[in-house]
Amino acid sequence: MMIDNNVPASAGSNKNRQGRLIFFAILFGMTLLVGCAPKIYHVDLRYQPTKQPVPAVTDGRKLSVTVANFIDRRKIDDTLLLGRVIRSGASSIPVLPRYVKAPDAVAEALRKLLTQSGFNVSPERTAWDQTEKTILPGWGTILIGGVIEELDVTCLDNIPIKKYSAKARISLVFADVQKKKVFYRVSSESSSSLEHVVFSEGKLEDQINGVLADALEKILEDPGTARQIRDALKQ
């Protein structure tokens, strides 16, 4: 009795056909995923604490602090933009704020940080050009203005690793309201990076909010800032 070890031609062709079908099914699925990707991503730009806030500097008085609207000086054509998601073989997808523009969001982040630190923060949203002559007496004890120098989040959405990066550079101007005098200028910056197998708007949001909070917190926890505030209040 002879045993034929050869595989019938029809069986081999069936296996090849099945392999090709699986390959094209996977390719079709990936095409759908790319095709269904949104044309814009959004993040909720806000203050997310990275550490315990530093207690407020005070001389016994209940300090009233007004945070003026921030000035956006980022060197980009469209200041609505917060970053981009760059996909393999595709054009980049913009990242925009979900609710409010960057200047308003950063000013509100600073208000929340100051409130958590124990300052009496005015709810007033005032415009200030950061010159002494335009300071108004109704703006409390201390007036703080700010400038956004950098604020950006980027994701290289490759397969299988997604590479996130974010950076922030913020400048603040402190003024004694009643004396109409600027007494302190300071800048702070922060950056972060993350590699992950998953892409999500949530991770974009965490990265940009993390560097924003860190940059603001560095200013308030700096002994130089506390000293400048104490010296201004003593005069």
Domains defined along the chain, listed by start: 40-234 (3.40.50.10610)
Percent of the chain with pLDDT over 90: 67
Q: What would the pLDDT profile of 59-92 be if each residue is shown by its tens digit?
A: 566 678 999 999 999 999 999 999 999 987 667 9
Q: What would the pLDDT profile of 161-203 be if each residue is shown by its tens digit?
A: 999 999 999 999 999 999 999 999 999 999 999 999 999 999 9
The residue type at 182: V
Provide the mean pLDDT of the chain.
86
Residue of 25 and 154 predicted with greater confidence: 154
Supply the pTM of this predicted model. Answer: 0.81
Specify the pLDDT at position 60: 60
